[in-house]
Amino acid sequence: MKKVLSAITLFILTLTAGTVLAQSTGRISGKVIDQKTSETLIGATVNIEGTTKGAATDVDGHYVLSGLAPGKYVILVRYIGYQSKTISDIEVKEGANTALDVTLGQAESKALGEVTIKATYRQQSIGALYAMQKNSVSISDGVTADVIRRSPDRSTAGKLVDRR
């Protein structure tokens, strides 16, 4: 009987300790929104400055930073094409959720200068094609535009299929 009572007491203490430890942390949650359109931003990153803790927003723009010790935090929110935002003095209380919705404005676009693209083109002759076939490790056959042009066939398909 003593063993059963000891086991039950140990089980209750374990459950109580887990509940106490779970409530000794808090969390920050909210959503990230576009300033102009009020649409939620999918994939924005929300990080706690000075730590490795962070989260990305889901398809609804929501995020959750959980398991935070009580105290004040600095939150950094980033999204590609938008200005980053740093929010200071966000207080997390024990066992509580701190709601924090963030609005991001689009970053100023920067115009690029003029771009010049240069390319070269080298046309090969029939002789070059035959030389490549001769020196090739694998055997391949090639039909040049010149051969197709001189062909009496009505279509190129006839010339490509008829290989006697």
Confidence of residue 154 (pLDDT cuts 50, 70, 90): low
pLDDT at 60 over 60: yes
Q: How much is the pLDDT for 7?
A: 61
Q: What DSSP string runs through 64-133?
A: EEEEEPSEEEEEEEE-TTB--EEEEEEEE-TT-EEE--EEEPBPPP----------------HHHHHHHH
Segment (H or E) for 48: strand 45-48
Measured CA to CA, the distance from residue 20 to residue 95 in angstroms comes to 9
Q: Where are the domains of the chain?
A: 27-104, 126-161
pTM of structure: 0.55
Confidence of residue 90 (pLDDT cuts 50, 70, 90): very high
Q: Dihedrals φ, ψ of 76, to 5°? A: -120, 125
Measured CA to CA, the distance from residue 97 to residue 54 in angstroms comes to 16
Give the tens place of pLDDT for each residue, 4-31: 666 666 666 565 555 545 458 999 999 9
Fold of the 27-104 domain: Immunoglobulin-like (2.60.40)
Q: Which two tokens stand for residue 123?
A: 């046309």
72 within 8 A of 91, measured Cβ to Cβ:
yes
